[in-house]
Amino acid sequence: MLAGQPSQSMIFTAMRRAAHQLLDRPRLVEDPVAVGLIPEASEHVVLGALDEQRAPLSTLLRALFAFRSRFAEDRLAEAAFRGVRQYVVVGAGLDTFAWRQPSSEADTAVWLPNERVLFSASAFVVNQINILRPFVTIPDILAAGKMMKTLNPEHVVPGHGTPGTVKIFEDGEMYYTLLLDRVGAMVKAGKSLDDIKKEVKMPEYASWGSQDRFPTNVEAAYKAVVGK
């Protein structure tokens, strides 16, 4: 290892993470930041060595790295849902977790004004239902989206999903606004939270992934409507 430079093992791991994003389907981890994080992990370099990348040993190694990250981050998501607010990464090296942070729904973003690139964390995800922890509110998420849109980014890199444009925020705002309207109407009709969870439907978003997270969204909408 040379002073001021990442170790070869860190570079090797970063290359495997980038290759997983570019070559493997389905992905175990959505990590768009990994591609191009360092020159050795650029799309050009990875795709320029396809024979090596598709060798059995290389395929196994990047699967192991991806599985390790997915396992750790799934356990973190479960802990965050229970109220854990601190996560310590030891020997992080070139790990990209700090850029993606699934436990910070609406308050962490990185803005690169010269490049007009916005890393928008996990307040908005792409074509999937977000998991909303008890400390996250829909008004906060909507406020975060409004604030990030005012930056007028050309490229938006969400914490989970494919990079895109401000349409990521617009799609999320439409979803949450519709959910608030429907839950609000049911509250006015005298429905309890349990009844609403059973009865409220969002067929417009039936194609979105992670439908098992929908009850957390309903509960957050209910809290926003009744002012809890």
3-state SS record for the chain: CCCCCCCHHHHHHHHHHHHHHHHCCCCCCCCHHHCCCCHHHCHHHHHCCHHHHCCHHHHHHHHHHHHHHHHHHHHHHHHHHCCCCCCCCCCCCCCCHHHHCCCCCCCCCEEECCCCEEECCCCCCCCECCCCCCCCCHHHHHHHHHHHHHCCCCEEECCCCCCECCHHHHHHHHHHHHHHHHHHHHHHCCCCHHHHHHHCCCHHHCCCECHHHHHHHHHHHHHHHHCC
Residue 113 and residue 69 share a domain: no
Whole-angstrom distance, CA of residue 95 vs CA of residue 58: 19
What is d(CA 152, CA 154) in angstroms, rounded to the nearest whole number? 7
The pLDDT of residue 158 is 86
What are 112's strand-pairing partners?
Answer: 117
Nearest CA to 96 out of 164, 167, 37 is that of 37
Q: Bigger pLDDT: 189 or 115?
A: 189
Is pLDDT at 3 greater than 70 in this prediction? no
Q: Does 159 share its domain with 125? A: yes
Q: How confident is the model at residue 103 (pLDDT cuts 50, 70, 90)?
A: very low
pLDDT digits (tens, 9 = 90+) for 16-55: 999 999 999 988 988 888 898 889 999 999 999 999 999 9
Pair 88, 193 in one domain:
no
pLDDT at 172: 94
The tally of domains found in the chain comes to: 2
Mean pLDDT of 82-100: 70
Is 214 inside a domain boundary? yes
pLDDT in tens, 53-64: 999 999 999 999
What's the whole-model pTM score?
0.58
Q: What is the mean pLDDT of residues 106-119?
A: 79
Asked whether residue 104 carries a pLDDT value surpassing 60, the answer given is no
CATH number of the CATH domain containing 149: 3.60.15.10
Q: Is residue 3 part of a domain?
A: no
Residue 105: which pLDDT band, with cuts at 50, 70 and 90?
A: very low
The tens digit of pLDDT for each residue in 193-207 reads 999 999 999 999 999
**Strand order through the sheet with 110-112:** 110-112, 117-119, 155-157
In degrees rounded to 5, what are phi and psi of residue 155? -130, 130
Q: Which domain holds residue 156?
A: 104-226
State what percent of residues in the chain have pLDDT above 70. 88
Of the three residues 97, 114, 131, the one that is the final residue of a domain is 97
Q: Are residues 83 and 133 in the same domain?
A: no
Are 183 and 111 within one domain?
A: yes
- The lowest-confidence range among 82-91, 133-142, 189-198 is 82-91
In terms of Cα–Cα distance, which of 30, 36, 38 is closest to 10?
38
27 shares its domain with 88: yes
**2, part of any domain:** no
Shared domain for 137 and 83, answered yes or no, is no
Q: Of 45, 79, 97, which closes a domain?
A: 97
